[in-house]
């Protein structure tokens, strides 16, 4: 049994991607999360990741997630 749950691991993955400001990895992780988790679960992962981010990292993450959302909306249209 792992000491870290799957969701806890995802929190740290999300935070590390934001800290590294890796847009490609964020898009891949975002698509993975969207396909596996409900909106409520995603919100919980997001809230926990925010706890370990600086304001700058959090702003970058919000901006990039919005960009991904817009891009995905345009593709779906």
pTM of the model: 0.84
List the helix and strand counts (H, then E) for the chain: 4, 0
What residue numbers bound the domain in which 43 lies?
Answer: 6-76
* Domain membership flag for residue 32: yes
**Domain-embedded: residue 1:** no
pLDDT in tens, 18-68: 999 999 999 999 999 999 999 999 999 999 999 999 999 999 999 999 999
pLDDT at 2: 62
Q: Is the pLDDT of residue 72 over 90?
A: no
Q: What is the pLDDT of residue 41?
A: 94
Instruction: Find tokens 């700058």 and name the residue.
Output: 56
Kindly state whether residue 49 falls inside one of the protein's structural domains. yes
Q: Tell me whether residue 15 is in a domain.
A: yes
């Amino acid at each position: 049994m792992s000491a870290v749950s799957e969701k806890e691991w995802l929190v740290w993955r999300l935070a590390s991607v934001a800290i590294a400001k890796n847009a490609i990895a964020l898009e891949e992780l975002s698509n993975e999360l969207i396909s596996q988790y409900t909106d409520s679960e995603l919100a919980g992962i997001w809230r926990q990741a925010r706890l370990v981010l600086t304001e700058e990292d959090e702003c970058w993450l919000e901006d990039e997630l919005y960009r991904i959302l817009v891009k995905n909306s345009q593709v779906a249209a």
